[in-house]
Structure formats: structure tokens, C-alpha cells
Amino acid sequence: EPEVTQTPSHQVTQMGQEVILRCVPISNHLYFYWYRQILGQKVEFLVSFYNNEISEKSEIFDDQFSVERPDGSNFTLKIRSTKLEDSAMYFCASIQFGAREQYFGPGTRLTVT
């Protein structure tokens, strides 16, 4: 069964550093998402991406965040200058056109020290 993959599984970084989280969505999917989950809290929507541009973003997704689909397979989330409160699990998801089931990746645990 096809699946969404994410790398790395765990990233430790120092406050103020830039990080790039990588995702490979399922190949025939057209909509891509990033969500995050702070430990013990809800899964929160960050951004959706379609046709090489952002479709929607939440209040969390400020100027420190950016997304990119640099090639036909990868989908990345960049945090320019990490803060302690960015520590969370970050999940990538994708969905096929016309479908309702989003497929989530295993997540990247980001720890900012």
C-alpha cells in the first residue's frame, strides 16, 4: 500500500536555527498538508498546498514558515528561525483529487533546545 514518508524521524536543533522537514506524498495525490502536534495537545493544521501554491494557512503559519515542492516528489516545510515553542511532531498529509481520506506520514519529531 502506498504511504506518505517523512524525514528525518527526529530532528534536534538549537533555537534560532533553520530546519527543513521533508515529506514524500503519495505519488498520484495532488493536495498536500502540514500539521503539527505539540506533546499532549491537538493536531493543528498549518498549511495546505495545491498546484504549487499555498491554498490555505493557519495563524500558526507565520513568516517564519514556508513550504515548497522543489521537484515532483518532495514537499518541504522550512522554519527559518526556530523557537522553543516550535518543538512538536510535524505531520505531512496528502489526498487524491476528489477523495476525502487524507493520508498522514509518520511524523518528524522536532526538538528545539
Residue 11 binding another protein, by CB under 8 A: no
> Which DSSP string corresponds to 42-55?
-EEEEEEEETTEEE
Tell me the pairing of strands 88-95 and 31-37.
Answer: antiparallel
Position among 61, 65, 75, 103 found at the interface with another protein (CB under 8 A): 103
- C-alpha grid cell for residue 81? 528561525
> What residues from 35 to 64 belong to the interface with another protein (CB under 8 A)?
35, 42-45, 48, 50, 55-56, 58
Q: Are 109 and 46 in contact (CB under 8 A)?
A: no
Residue 23 binding another protein, by CB under 8 A: no
Binding site for another protein (CB under 8 A): 4, 30-31, 33, 35, 42-45, 48, 50, 55-56, 58, 89, 91, 93, 95-107, 109
